[in-house]
Amino acid sequence: MKTNKNQKNQKAAALKYNTGYEAPVVTAAGAGFIAEKIIEKASENNVPIVENKELAELLTKTEIGDSIPAELYDAVARILAYVLDIDNSL
């Protein structure tokens, strides 16, 4: 299986947020092959995918099951608002 440099450097994170949560929770995160699998699973399950390399870099440093760090609230809130807007327009 060939992988290019971009695939090796690719990072991805999956978040879960429900009303009542203090903050979104990281449910999956990784780089390279793991990132590819996270994106593949999201796509298979019609989960919206938003590309933000800087945010992915920071989220992959968060432990699985932990809430996102407070300094990422604003960036993640913007993405969640964008995703909700897309869902509501369908």
Does 73 score more than 80 pLDDT?
A: yes
Give pLDDT, residue 7. Answer: 65
Give pLDDT, residue 65. Answer: 97
pTM of model > 0.75: yes
Nearest-angstrom CA–CA distance, 88 and 85:
5
pLDDT digits (tens, 9 = 90+) for 3-18: 455 667 899 999 999 8
Structural domain boundaries enclosing 57: 5-89
Looking at the 3D structure of the chain, how many domains does it have?
A: 1
pLDDT digits (tens, 9 = 90+) for 22-43: 999 999 999 999 999 999 999 9
CA distances from 40 to 10, 20, 45, 87 (A): 13, 28, 9, 20
Residue 50: CATH number of its domain: 3.40.1690.10
